[in-house]
């Protein structure tokens, strides 16, 4: 069949959309097209990427011009199944549905819960808008062909008969240049690495960047600690705030890097940090970076959330911290840096767990089955 993915916000190189969902469908023999507003046209890993561009920058441009451009390009493709990835693309999904197309809505986050914490939404409007969007999202879900979610809590909001969970587990293709390459990170050199920890992904205040930067400054100089940051700051002005806090000798900022370069960051780190703040959209999440770090053989320093604690404690693969206290994060970092043998063993337990319990292949099978059921309905 022909599967067309639509995204207005994500990069063409996105881990979940391109490297996992699109590549898996192409490997199964389907024709796959990924339409995005950013990037460039190319054919890669059996996927045809088409970048339609934006008429401007910012959220308004994304939900107006970018939405229209992506939808128009999608209609031209005449796909058998359309897979949409942003809340605003629900509108595109409904438009495609009116034309008789089969549409899958991929719910990456609990958007109503996230809306109550978005700094760009006026405080007085957050809860009313969250309530309205919750009703609109549920109503729309009843009219689309399938719903894909990342965890139980999000899945519970949608019709069970048409909803599946596709979790952010790690691809097993260790020889490839995508996220599966995290499994190819050299393991024998752990003891010779510098005392560095990494954070990869979108960098926002609610993801604990401020507390993590403060934590690295609390460690003793003799440890020569370093924090490696890779990703984009949101909003861009947040970077200026953080730069006033960090010591350039202790913080290395790489900016946005290609997915293929992620393993190199892991290969010079002793730990990965997932210090998300406690809000509903985080406490119920299954972050890709946690499973990636495990697959790379790194101890995971993670927020002490009820959903995350069983993973870390069951496999003995990391340390749990209070993400609102820099002292708690610093204490975990210091333990990792001062106990390299125990930290290495912790990382190896996480790697074994990732290979045994958290592989993407099990999730891809569910997604491909959904496509088959929708296409033949």
Integer Cα distance of 94 and 69 in angstroms? 16
For 99-130, write each residue's pLDDT tens digit.
999 999 999 999 998 888 887 788 899 999 99
Round to whole Å and give the CA distance between 171 and 358: 9
Q: Tell me, rounded to whole angstroms, the distance of Cα 320 from its chain centroid.
A: 20
Nearest one of 189, 145, 154 to 372, comparing CA atoms = 145
This prediction's pTM:
0.85
Residue range 265-285: mean pLDDT, rounded: 92
**Beta partners for 148?**
106, 164
Which SS3 state, helix, strand or coil, does residue 271 take?
strand
Q: How far is the C-alpha of 311 from the C-alpha of 323, rounded, in Å? A: 17
pLDDT of residue 302: 98
**Banded pLDDT at 184 (limits 50, 70, 90):** low
Please state the length of the chain: 377
What one-character-per-residue DSSP string does 360-371 give?
Answer: HHHHHHHHHHHH
Domains of the chain, first to last: 2-169+360-375 (3.40.50.2000), 179-357 (3.40.50.2000)
Q: Give the C-alpha separation, 260 to 282, whole Å.
A: 26
190 φψ region: left (φ > 0), alpha (ψ -120 to 50), beta (else): alpha
Phi, psi at 187, each rounded to 5°: -105, -25
* Structure confidence at residue 175 as a pLDDT band (50, 70, 90): very low
User: Which pLDDT score, from 0 to 100, does residue 245 have?
Assistant: 94
Query: 3-state DSSP call for residue 86?
Result: coil
Judge whether 208 and 234 are in contact, CB under 8 Å: no
Higher pLDDT, 59 or 345: 345
Query: CA separation (Å) from 84 to 71, 145, 150, 290, 295?
Result: 10, 12, 14, 25, 28
Q: Which residue matches tokens 């690295």?
A: 216
The model's pLDDT over 21-71, given as tens digits with 9 standing for 90+, comes to 999 999 999 999 999 988 889 999 999 999 997 655 555 555 667 899 999
């Amino acid at each position: 069949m022909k599967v067309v993915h639509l995204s207005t916000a994500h990069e063409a190189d996105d881990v979940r959309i391109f490297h996992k969902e699109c590549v898996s469908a192409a490997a199964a023999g389907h024709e796959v097209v990924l339409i995005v507003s950013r990037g460039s046209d190319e054919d890669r890993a059996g996927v045809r990427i088409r970048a339609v561009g934006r008429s401007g920058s910012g959220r308004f441009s994304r939900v107006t011009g970018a939405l229209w451009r992506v939808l128009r390009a999608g209609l031209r493709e005449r796909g058998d199944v359309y897979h949409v990835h942003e809340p605003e693309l629900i509108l595109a999904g409904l438009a495609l549905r009116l034309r008789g197309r089969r549409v899958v809505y991929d719910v990456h986050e609990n958007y109503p819960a996230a809306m109550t914490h978005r700094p760009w939404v006026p405080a007085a409007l957050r809860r009313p808008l969250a309530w309205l969007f919750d009703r609109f999202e549920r109503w729309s879900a009843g009219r689309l062909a399938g719903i894909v979610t990342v965890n139980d809590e999000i899945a519970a909001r949608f019709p069970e008969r048409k909803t599946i969970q596709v979790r952010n587990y790690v691809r097993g293709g260790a020889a490839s240049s995508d996220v599966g390459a995290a499994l190819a990170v050299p393991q024998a050199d752990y003891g010779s690495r510098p005392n560095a920890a990494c954070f990869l992904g979108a960098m926002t205040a609610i993801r604990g960047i401020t507390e993590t930067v403060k934590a690295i400054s609390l460690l003793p100089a003799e440890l020569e600690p370093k924090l490696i940051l890779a990703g984009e700051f949101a909003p861009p002005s947040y970077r200026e705030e953080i730069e006033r806090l960090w010591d350039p000798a202790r913080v290395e900022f790489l900016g946005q890097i290609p997915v293929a370069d992620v393993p190199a960051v892991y290969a010079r780190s002793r730990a990965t940090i997932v210090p998300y703040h406690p809000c509903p959209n985080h406490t119920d999440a299954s972050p890709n970076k946690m499973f990636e770090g495990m697959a790379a053989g790194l101890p995971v320093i993670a927020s002490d959330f009820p959903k995350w604690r069983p993973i870390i404690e069951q496999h003995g693969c990391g340390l749990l911290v209070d993400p609102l206290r820099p002292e708690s994060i610093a204490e975990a970092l210091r333990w990792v840096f001062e106990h390299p043998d125990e930290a290495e063993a912790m990382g190896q337990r996480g790697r074994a767990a990732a290979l045994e319990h958290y592989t993407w292949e099990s999730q891809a099978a569910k997604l491909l089955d959904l496509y088959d059921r929708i296409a033949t309905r």
